[in-house]
Chains A and B, each alone.
Chain A
Amino acid sequence: MLGEGILKGLAETAKNFAGSFVSAERLTTVEYPEQRIPTAENARVFPFLIYDGTDWEAGMRCVACQICEKECPPKCIYIEKSKDKKPDFVGKMQIYPAKFDIDVSVCMSCQICVEVCPFEAIKMDTEFELSTTDRFGGLLFDRKHLAKSNEYYHEIHPTEATEVDARLAEEKAKAEAKAKAATQAAAAKAGAPASGPAPGAAAPTAKAAEALPASKPAGGGE
């Protein structure tokens, strides 16, 4: 009969109306600032820079290779290389970014910088409450602002972080084995005919190991 569907619909909305007072499961609304749902593990907002250990300057994984800067589609990354070097996670001396700025008002969260980074130094953050009253300076994040610890990375993307850690550990082990082999070879060479200068392969690592406690990159320019 004509109008039957309307009555059915009215009954349905009435049921919804009454039901929303009775059962809380019906209401899908999350009242945001007070209530929150945990972000999904794959969530991504803007990139951040990872550092190992506790000192963000010393532990910064970024070696200022500028691949991300070149790949960034909207060109929101700005890197200035340092003049001096500091040891990276394996102990090899590397240059580091004296300046690493990301303009988050330009960033489009595409994650390409993360994909291209060969040093696992840049990752995507899940922090989304970034509103500020200053639309120029407030949205330009410098390297201090961007630096987040590896523990934080584990917190927000546990699976991915474990994978990355395993990969880095493997790399480190390989590098150490190589260094060890090199030192052994050098020792063997030194022990045999003539005592020439040590081959270059082992030298930086040895130097780096000595330099580690003293090396404090002069990054106070910001």
Chain B
Amino acid sequence: MLEKADQLFILLRNWIVGFLPAGWQAAAGVVLGVIGIVAVFPGLFAITTVLERKGLGRMQNRIGPNRTGPFGILQPIADAIKSLTKEDIVPLNADAVVHFLAPVFLVVVVFMGFAVLPVGRNMVLVDMDASLLFYFAMGASTEVSIFMAGWSSRNKYSLLGAMRAVAQMISYEVPLLLSSVVVVMMTGSLSLVKIVEAQNQYTWGLPHWYIFTPWGCAAFVMYAIAATAETNRSPFDLPEGESELVAGYFTEYSGFKFALFFLGEYLGMLSISGLGTTLFLGGWSAPLAALNWVPSWIWFFSKVMLSIVVLIWVRGTLPRLRQDQLMNFAWKFVLPMTLLDLMVAALWRFLGDGWARWVVCSAILVIVYVAAGRAGMRGKHFGPRTYRYAE
């Protein structure tokens, strides 16, 4: 029975496919999988928007939306109707084709990333050997769409926002990749399915998730920072800084195209949280051996939603960075730390089993982290701002 609940969607797919002639079955199975992805993740996007608006409200001692439906849970439907019925304006001087293609391209590329994420036991649309590589190729393509949007709008704010976005995303792409490389080094495979399987083991009832190792924990923190920057989330939301750039690269977008950008951005968040879950939090594996009876997809989606909650929490806490702070942080702190982490992971691999590698690896990481932090903060003035001329 529990076995069936775990494989519910696979069984459902096989049952539907069974009605078709043998030659069509493989293609129909893929189409059903795509339908599943296209239905589930936008649903999660709707939940995320409502969670975000209510959660941020509570963090700022507000109530948040509570008018549409009980406790405002129908807010996403109202938002969807609003964006669908709004006028779609294309600036006179804009490159209309590119202007139209940019949001479509973004959403398509983000959906492609979901194809390789294992959302449960046996539940992956395409199980390819280099799925991590495929994922990052797709993730990097979002930058093209953002630049398309900024360039085609023929608006200085759009272009500035797009330049910022591309600069930021390329800078953080490097630590994002390098922090994932650690996992690949340990697993010996680029296949996300194999990476999850490698973490789905238990010692004394506790899982072998990579976050519970010194190098994995450090890599996870770096991954989380880079992922936040990749998805243009606060505190790295400079490309959309309302106070200086109107809305960044989607200044000239309205109506459904804007909704598509919004969708693409949140799907990107869900997808990068899904990848983080897969790489460091054990994917669909249960947090305790005793909880293995719960269907695997429940674990995957709860972990993803937990990551989303943390992202919302961070957004509610931190102010936006400055452009130079953003770049300095990426190149002078996150990147060296990920490089160090690569070496620590190698050290871990060759120190062999035993407690020694735990102590040595943790010590190296902590000491370097503290020292780098000290060095970075030296000579900087913190505290209330002082004004020389104006008071």
With both chains docked as a complex, state the minimum distance between the C-beta of B187 and any C-beta of chain A, in angstroms: 28
Q: Does B336 sit within 8 A of A, measured CB to CB?
A: no
Query: Which A residues are in CB contact (< 8 Å) with B20?
Result: none
Q: Which residues of B contact A29 (CB under 8 A)?
A: 62-63
Whether A13 contacts B313 by the Cβ 8 Å rule is yes
**Residue numbers in B under 8 Å from A20 (CB-CB):** 58, 61-62
| Given A9-B318, A10-B313; A1-B373 close (CB under 8 Å) | yes
A16 contact set on B, CB distance < 8 A: 58-61
B202 within 8 A of A: no
Chain B residue nearest to A15 in the complex (CB) = B59
B58 in contact with A1 (CB, 8 Å): no
Chain A residues with CB under 8 Å of B316's CB are 13, 17
Given contacts A1-B373, A2-B377, is CB(A13)–CB(B317) below 8 Å? yes
**A16-30 contact mask (Cβ, 8 Å, vs B): 1 or 0:** 110111000011110
A17–B55 CB distance below 8 A: yes
- Contact yes or no, A6 B318, CB < 8 A: yes
Partner of A9, one of B317, B374, B377: B317
**B373 interface neighbour in A3, A12, A17, Cβ under 8 Å:** A3
Q: Which of A22-46 contact B (CB under 8 A)?
A: 26-29, 31
Q: How large is the interface on A (under 10, 10 to 19, 20 to 34, 35 or more residues)?
A: 10 to 19
Residues of A within 8 A of B55 (CB): 17
B24 contacts the other chain (CB 8 A): no
Identity of the chain A residue whose Cβ is nearest the Cβ of B316 in the assembled complex: A13
Q: Do A2 and B317 touch across chains, with their CB atoms under 8 A apart?
A: no
> In the complex, A29→B313 CA distance in Å?
21
User: With a CB–CB cut-off of 8 A, which chain B residues contact A9?
Assistant: 317-318
* Residue in contact with B61 in the complex, picked from A6, A10, A14, A26, CB distance below 8 Å: A26
Whole-angstrom distance between the alpha carbons of A13 and B374 in the complex? 26
**Can you list 18 contacts pairing A with B, beta carbon distance less than 8 Å?**
A1-B373, A2-B370, A2-B372, A6-B317, A10-B313, A10-B317, A12-B317, A13-B317, A14-B313, A16-B58, A16-B61, A17-B55, A17-B58, A20-B62, A26-B61, A27-B62, A28-B62, A29-B63
> Assuming A2-B370, A21-B58, A29-B62, what are 20 further A-B pairs, CB within 8 angstroms?
A1-B370, A2-B372, A2-B374, A6-B317, A9-B317, A12-B317, A13-B59, A13-B313, A16-B58, A16-B59, A16-B60, A17-B59, A17-B313, A19-B61, A20-B58, A20-B62, A27-B62, A27-B63, A28-B62, A31-B63
Interface residues of A (CB under 8 A from B): 1-3, 6, 9-10, 12-14, 16-17, 19-21, 26-29, 31
